[in-house]
C-alpha cells in the first residue's frame, strides 16, 4: 500500500473521529433548567461538555455539572440532576424552552408574528411582569420558567425601540402603547 494512501486513510479516520467528538460536544453544551432534587425548585445548570463528550466517545455516559445556580452554597451536592438531563436532554435546554415559549406567539406591541427564532444577534425579547423589556438571555435559568409564565413576547425591533427610550430618552419619543 502506498504511503500516501495510508496517510489519506488516517486523515479521513481522524476527520470522522473529530466530527463525532465535536457533534457530541455540541449536544452537551448550553445552559439547562432542571429540578433540583434537594428543594424541588428549578435550577440553572451547565454540563461539563468536554468531559461528557470524552466519556461518550469512550462509550460511557456519565454526566457531571460544570456550573449550577445553587453553587457555591451547595457545591458539594450529590449531583443527581444530570439524571434528569439524561432522560430528556432536549427538553431542559434553555434554548429549546425559549423556542417553545415563542412558538405561535406575536409581538405584544406591534402584533408581528415572532416566527422561527434566529439564534443570531436579533432575537426576540420579552416584557416581564414589571413591564420592562429584556432579552431572554438576561433572565437567569433558575428563574426562566416563572418569568416566562408572567411575561409576554416582544419582537426585536420593538425591544430595541423600548430600550432606546429607556436608556436614551433624550434621543427618542416614547410610544405610549401599553403591552397587550
pLDDT at 63: 79
152 band by pLDDT with thresholds 50, 70 and 90? very high
Neighbouring-strand partners of residue 159: none
Q: Across residues 111-133, what is the average pLDDT?
A: 86
Asked whether the CA dihedral 65, 71, 77, 81 is positive or negative, the reply is negative
**What span, in angstroms and rounded, lies between the C-alpha atoms of 176 and 174?**
6
**What span, in angstroms and rounded, lies between the C-alpha atoms of 41 and 70?**
10
Residue 1, number of CB atoms within 10 A of its CB: 6
Within 13 A of 95's CA, how many CA atoms are on the CB side?
Answer: 14
175 band by pLDDT with thresholds 50, 70 and 90? low
87 band by pLDDT with thresholds 50, 70 and 90? confident
3-state DSSP assignment of residue 75: coil
Domain chopping of the chain, boundaries: 3-87, 94-167
**pLDDT, tens digit (0-9, with 9 covering 90-100), for 9-39:** 888 888 887 777 777 777 777 889 998 888 8
pLDDT at 76: 72
Cell of residue 59, nine digits: 462509550
| Gyration radius of the chain over CA positions | 22
pLDDT at 19: 78
Name which residue leads in pLDDT, 129 or 18. 129
**What span, in angstroms and rounded, lies between the C-alpha atoms of 79 and 57?**
22
3-state DSSP assignment of residue 106: strand
**What span, in angstroms and rounded, lies between the C-alpha atoms of 178 and 49?**
42
Minimal CA–CA distance to 53: which of 65, 45, 61? 61
Amino acid at each position: 500500500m502506498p504511503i500516501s494512501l495510508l496517510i489519506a486513510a488516517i486523515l479521513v479516520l481522524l476527520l470522522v473521529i473529530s466530527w463525532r467528538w465535536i457533534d457530541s460536544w455540541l449536544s452537551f453544551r448550553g445552559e439547562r433548567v432542571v429540578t433540583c432534587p434537594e428543594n424541588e425548585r428549578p435550577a440553572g445548570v451547565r454540563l461539563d461538555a468536554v468531559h461528557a463528550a470524552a466519556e461518550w466517545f469512550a462509550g460511557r455516559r456519565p454526566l457531571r455539572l460544570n456550573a449550577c445556580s445553587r453553587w457555591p452554597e451547595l457545591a458539594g451536592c450529590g449531583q443527581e440532576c444530570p439524571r434528569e438531563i439524561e432522560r430528556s436532554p432536549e427538553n431542559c435546554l434553555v434554548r429549546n424552552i425559549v423556542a417553545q415559549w415563542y412558538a405561535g406567539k406575536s409581538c405584544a406591541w406591534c402584533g408581528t408574528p415572532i416566527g422561527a427564532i434566529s439564534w443570531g444577534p436579533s432575537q426576540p425579547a420579552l416584557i416581564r411582569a414589571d413591564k420592562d423589556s429584556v432579552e431572554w438571555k438576561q433572565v437567569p435559568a433558575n428563574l426562566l420558567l416563572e418569568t416566562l409564565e408572567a411575561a409576554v413576547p416582544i419582537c426585536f425591533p420593538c425591544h430595541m425601540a423600548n430600550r432606546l427610550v429607556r436608556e436614551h430618552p433624550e434621543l427618542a419619543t416614547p410610544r405610549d402603547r401599553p403591552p397587550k
